[in-house]
């Protein structure tokens, strides 16, 4: 199947009504989870890059490392993210790295037409929040309200996430920040990513080196949680 078609299939979101950034009615950001299906582990023939500036949770020297490439306007990514954050609380020995792979041609050369219009802005906002140690709070909001990731509404995310507005604005407007995002996405392109979310892990039981973990959200999390301590 052509890579572009895979990108189209990876994240399709129906139009959402416009609402204020009020607390969501449920802690679940995505659709209801079905019964977990066993994840598939596919060896990756190259090392997955670990940029120290990328948002992460867990020890830098962890034996088990999980890297997730996501798009903030992807409903499947929104489904997986809170499960991964919850798993990080249960498994503080694992390092979870949160990469960005926006399905938007403004920062991703693999996307040849407009898909998720503000995905690059969302990824940049998350990176600037990470510089203040506030990646998870803003990521939670971006995943909950993807239809509101627009330039006029972005300040609401900044305020709700408890960020220093002046520092955020400086980071967001800095051309170097956007160039760093493009370089980060280029690393994902080099890995051959074809859609989001894409999950890689190192240190799973019975596996040597890096593997790509595919399946439904619950199955992916179950495979990661089974990693040796």
For 167, the domain range is 36-225
Confidence of residue 27 (pLDDT cuts 50, 70, 90): very low
Residue 30 lies in a domain: no
Locate 162 and state its tokens. 């408890």
Q: Cβ neighbours of residue 205 under 8 Å, at least 6 residues apart?
A: 226, 227, 228
What is the spatial distance between Cα 94 and Cα 40, in angstroms, rounded to a whole number? 20
Give the residue-averaged pLDDT of 188-195: 94
**What does pLDDT average to over the chain?**
88
Residue 69 lies in a domain: yes
Residue 26 lies in a domain: no
Q: Is the peptide bond before 74 cis (omega within 30 degrees of 0)?
A: no
Give the β-pairing of 210-214 and 198-202.
antiparallel
Quick check: 179 pLDDT over 80?
yes
Residue 193 lies in a domain: yes
Residue 2 lies in a domain: no
pLDDT above 90 coverage of the chain, percent? 80
Is there a contact between 211 and 42 (Cβ–Cβ < 8 Å)?
A: yes
Residue 148 belongs to domain with CATH number: 3.40.30.10
Locate 163 and state its tokens. 């960020």
Confidence of residue 17 (pLDDT cuts 50, 70, 90): very low
What is the spatial distance between Cα 68 and Cα 123, in angstroms, rounded to a whole number? 13
Give the residue-averaged pLDDT of 184-189: 96
Q: How many CB atoms lie within 10 A of CB 110?
A: 17
Q: How far apart are the first and last CA of the chain?
A: 38
Q: How many CB atoms lie within 10 A of CB 20?
A: 8
Residue 135 lies in a domain: yes
pTM, to two decimals: 0.85
Locate 9 and state its tokens. 């299939």
Residue 16 lies in a domain: no
Give me the phi and psi of 166, to 5 degrees please. -65, -45
Beta sheet of 56-57, edge-to-edge order: 40-43, 210-214, 198-202, 65-70, 95-100, 56-57
Residue 45 lies in a domain: yes
Number of structural domains found in the chain: 1
What's the pLDDT tens digit per position in 94-149? Answer: 999 999 999 999 999 999 877 899 999 999 999 999 999 999 999 999 999 999 99
Looking at residue 35, its pLDDT comes to 60
Looking at residue 115, its pLDDT comes to 84
């Amino acid at each position: 199947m052509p890579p572009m078609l895979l990108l189209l299939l990876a994240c399709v979101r129906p139009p959402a009504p416009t609402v204020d950034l009020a607390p969501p009615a449920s802690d679940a950001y995505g659709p209801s989870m079905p019964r977990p299906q066993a994840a598939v582990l596919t060896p990756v023939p190259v090392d997955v890059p670990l940029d120290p500036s990328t948002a992460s949770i867990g020890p830098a020297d962890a034996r088990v490392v999980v890297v997730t490439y996501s798009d903030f306007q992807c409903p499947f990514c929104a489904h997986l993210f809170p499960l991964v954050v919850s798993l990080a609380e249960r498994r503080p020995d694992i390092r979870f790295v949160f990469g960005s792979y926006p399905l938007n041609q403004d920062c991703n050369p693999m996307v040849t037409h407009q898909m998720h219009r503000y995905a690059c802005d969302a990824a940049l906002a998350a990176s600037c929040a990470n510089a203040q140690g506030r990646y998870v709070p803003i990521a939670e909001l971006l995943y909950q309200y993807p239809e509101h990731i627009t330039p006029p509404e972005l300040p609401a995310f900044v305020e709700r996430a408890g960020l220093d507005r002046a520092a955020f604005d400086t980071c967001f407007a800095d051309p170097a920040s956007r160039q760093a995002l493009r370089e980060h996405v280029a690393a994902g392109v080099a890995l051959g990513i074809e859609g989001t979310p894409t999950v890689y892990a190192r240190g799973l039981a019975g596996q040597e080196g890096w593997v790509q973990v595919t399946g439904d959200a619950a199955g992916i999390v179950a495979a990661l949680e089974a990693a040796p301590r």
